[in-house]
Amino acid sequence: MSHTSGNILLHFIFSTEGRRPIIKAEFRDELFAYLGGIIREMKGTALIVNGVEDHVHLLVRVRPVHSAAEIARVVKANSSRWMHEKWDSQFAWQTGYGVFSVSESNAAEVTEYIAGQEEHHKKHSFQEEYVAFLKKNYIEYDERYIFD
């Protein structure tokens, strides 16, 4: 009998198309719950979902059967369709996304960081935050393309 095990924690970050501030307070909690529900449907666990008007963060525990690219595609496509039907026919996510591996020993720290998004973004823009993540994770980037 074959059995695959894994404890994979991923921190996803993605913004609205053009970083438009369209994640409105009146549906934000419902959208975040919906994002968590998509992860549950994929047999994963959303440890925390939070964000502000122009982007979201998800810390998720996923199964080894799913790639980060597949998770991002399914989450963004399904939530975008849901937003179109329920709240805003013009809603769209950015084309790309950021995904960063998280060790179990850092899960609490990342959870706290994601929970503090409102406060964090009083001081730092999404662009500043995202570039800091890229640098911290030694990811080469070209500013002309990272915010498409």
Q: In what order do the strands lie in the sheet with 8-15?
A: 45-52, 55-62, 8-15, 98-102
The yes-or-no verdict on residue 140 having pLDDT over 60 is yes
**What is the pTM assigned to this prediction?**
0.90
The mean per-residue pLDDT over the stretch 27-44 comes to: 96
CATH class of the domain defined by 8-103+114-136: alpha beta
* Predicted local confidence at residue 2, as pLDDT: 59
Q: For 2-20, give one letter per residue: b (16+ CB within 10 A) or e.
A: eeeeeeebbbbbbbbeebe
Alpha-carbon distance values, 32 to 132, 134, 141 (Å): 24, 24, 28
Give the model's confidence band at 127: pLDDT under 50 very low, under 70 low, under 90 confident, else very high: confident
Contact 11, 103 (CB under 8 A): no
Q: Which SS3 state, helix, strand or coil, does residue 47 take? A: strand
The mean per-residue pLDDT over the stretch 54-66 comes to: 95
Instruction: Show me where the domains of the chain are located.
Output: 8-103+114-136
